[in-house]
Structure 1
């Protein structure tokens, strides 16, 4: 980054696209979150002070070199704004704070459905039906549907590679060795992690748990991974191959972050989640937004 260039620009309603009644997220790195007159302010590495409208934000994604005061966390929580700790440009998702402002009605419903073997498989079937709209999934076991999904994703990778005329040798990710991956895999890894951060904050804010899933298991955030698969084709996979062609072999993390955010906003992801989660759970009277 050039000397004198600000790490973060001033945030206003005009400078951020709006998603329904909340903005999806702001990513911050190398600075400090503090309180100033009962509002949150961001102080970047060059001592620039930026007021943050947390009441209109769904999540603050805190990257490397950030610190936050106790009062700032209290203020963000009171505004129903999640705080997530992530890697550089949301490369890795580490943790998220729980929002005490969300009630437990949705959580109880989520647990009730997950604890019923029949209802749980029905949720998985509705999720897979989004990816297989023309297939008859009735009677299919979870294992069979997961096998279908594996074939679909591998074919999707190959189709996108052909569409964008990008060389593709398969999905490869080695933890701690991000730089050794090819450009397409690096974009996939970064956009996947960013999607997990946004989904985790949204799930928390609506009163659900990221730990209670219906397809994935044996991982810290199974419900997040379940939901992510509904949106990855456009937000991550298509994005990865499109940017690989545009970046011509030179990975640009800022371009990836910006393009991912644009797609999240264009998709109206937060508004879709408020509809999709209750629909997937088969519960029409679930509360759509935690308070």
Structure 2
């Protein structure tokens, strides 16, 4: 069982020829409205990859809440732990350029009121996996992590958006997942200077006892676990939009671990899912399903 404690948003996405610079306005022809939020995206990704998933978070009492929950409900994510609060449902404003790169501004809204209290009513155990990100209050993430670790379960943190995690949060992790920018922020926060991602992952694994994965975009992924290095190249795909690629990786990786796959096989499935997400526009609409993931993983890593 995977429990995701995280954010739910509505994404407003517009295509632009190029991303704007500071103080600049760039005109897009139209926009699309999609369900999103890192917590919701990763919950959906884990569910579509085959796991049983519960999501804990918060939405408002507005029309956007139904949009934010729509695909999660359709795919069978357990939403009993999603609270309705007196704040607007979170929103993300996303510009995507002609090369598929994106620029994102997130308004927290109801996510700022998300509480880990629902976890205390769950029958947690050694088979449980908790998946965290950084779009809900960190104190609540720490509370959730402590509950799951006390029950003997595993805790995964995706350090996104980039930021400096509290020491107590790092102390309650089993696996840390970062991209290259997040890796640089983390290295600075730990006083480790300008480490390359591979060296950072190795040091987190060796010194903190936390397995560390760095996603490298088109260059694939590197992970260190128990002193062993894994390095995988990304499958070649036609990139149209990188939104939710990281979330698809994280959700599918967690689902593979939950299904009993080893660290390397879970990396393969995460990388396949992240690559597939790049071939479809949007956040949750781009999240791939298990059959697609298995087909690409089987083909790409023979």
Task: Assess same fold via TM > 0.5.
Answer: no
Which of 1 and 2 has greater Rg?
A: 1
More helix by share: 1
More strand by share: 2
